[in-house]
Structure 1
């Protein structure tokens, strides 16, 4: 008898899911999903979804909507593959995620250059800021979806301009939201956090595991 779970009040068949698809090219998110050691194979398929958002959206709206856009864009790619019979057969559970750094209500994205990174870190140093990650799951066969987000507060140490410049010169901040990586050298600049560490890395594993369980996929 097919295994089914309740999700948002709807019973849904789950034994048709043959793989997980991570809609991200982020090595950090790939490593985090791999660390769960799930029984399903995991495919990486990055998304080129539009990431523009209305200025009036809250941080939670931004990450939830962008995570869902990424997941839905990959679902569309999988459906095209299935139609073309290019190995896209079977059904997938697509994972989309989006992470932003917020300071005083302003989203700090990836720096455009070293000076931009220095400016961002100069604003963050000695203060608390927030990191939001949205997570979306979409079943490519049924269209069933779930979207949630996690928030973590991060306190950064007071940093001299010299220390900030040395850190930026390592190159680590250049492709990171907020211009730092808590899982790398940037950890030495963080005083403490309140909330999920993995949320700051880019994928809250506790939240993800709960969401996967709604689809009958258990971590252990």
Structure 2
């Protein structure tokens, strides 16, 4: 069995991997995300994923022979990258801009084999269509606190799921980790996908 280390505090990423038969070791990177800026959204997502992966792979407590996965997601709307809102007012403004429109959720994935030092990385992108929600619905959603915890100020697998009318692409990518893309990266590094199953 190959051990996967998830360099992320995201409960949604952890749940996605667990539902796919993988029980990762979670080691949070603690990377300062503000050190990267002024990049196009897809490049920003990948750059942050690479930073998180590298930070965790360098640690002494990573199991030998493990694969370290760094991920980061941003929502692209009008060509700009949007991560987690900093406060309820920002989340409210974000939803007023998103409602009735579509955005692209980019999730950067960086996988490092600590035994060989080899790295495979790619960004998954999924088009997300948002419902034309009312101001009252936005206020109620922001009051739950959920939009403040997630990239793009929404979840597809939580309370915000009712406000997503459709997607084009991999729905796991919107949750934060694309299983088909991750499988490709695992194979690229010379491992078998089933070797990650617990």
**What TM-score results when the alignment is normalised by the length of structure 1?**
0.82
User: Over residues 74-133 of structure 1, what are the superposed CA-to-partner deviations in whole Å (9 max), with x where a residue is unaligned?
Assistant: 01113xx4xxxxxx5522110111100110011122122211111110000011111000
Q: Give the alignment partner of residue 107 of structure 1, picking from 57, 78, 81.
A: 81
The 8 Å contact of residues 18 and 90 in structure 1, kept in 2 or not, is answered as no
What residue in structure 2 maps to residue 217 of structure 1?
Answer: 192
Q: Give the alignment partner of residue 46 of structure 1, picking from 28, 43, 46.
A: 28
Larger helix proportion of the pair: 2
The 8 Å contact of residues 67 and 113 in structure 2, kept in 1 or not, is answered as yes
- Pairs aligned (count): 193
Asked if 1:74 is matched to 2:56, the reply is: yes
The 8 Å contact of residues 121 and 178 in structure 1, kept in 2 or not, is answered as no
Q: Give the alignment partner of residue 164 of structure 1, picking from 138, 153, 165.
A: 138
Gaps of 5+ in 2: none
What residue in structure 1 maps to residue 117 of structure 2?
Answer: 143
The 8 Å contact of residues 75 and 152 in structure 2, kept in 1 or not, is answered as yes
The equivalences for 1:1-220 within 5 A come to: 18-38=2-22, 42-51=24-33, 52-55=35-38, 57-78=39-60, 81=61, 90-214=64-188, 215-219=190-194
Q: 1:35 to 1:213 in 2, by over 3 A?
A: farther
CA RMSD in angstroms, aligned pairs only: 1.7
The 8 Å contact of residues 117 and 173 in structure 1, kept in 2 or not, is answered as yes
The 8 Å contact of residues 131 and 163 in structure 2, kept in 1 or not, is answered as yes
C-alpha separation in 2, matches of 1:161 and 1:89: 48
Segments ≥4 residues shifted beyond 6 Å? none
The 8 Å contact of residues 71 and 177 in structure 2, kept in 1 or not, is answered as yes
**What TM-score results when the alignment is normalised by the length of structure 2?**
0.91
Q: Which protein is bigger by CA-based radius of gyration?
A: 1
Gaps of 5+ in 1: 1-16, 82-87
C-alpha separation in 1, matches of 2:65 and 2:41: 31
- CA drift of 1:136 comes to 0.6
- CA drift of 1:134 comes to 0.7
SS of alignment partner, residue 200 of structure 1: helix
User: Over residues 190-210 of structure 1, what are the superposed CA-to-partner deviations in whole Å (9 max), with x where a residue is unaligned?
Assistant: 111111111111011111112
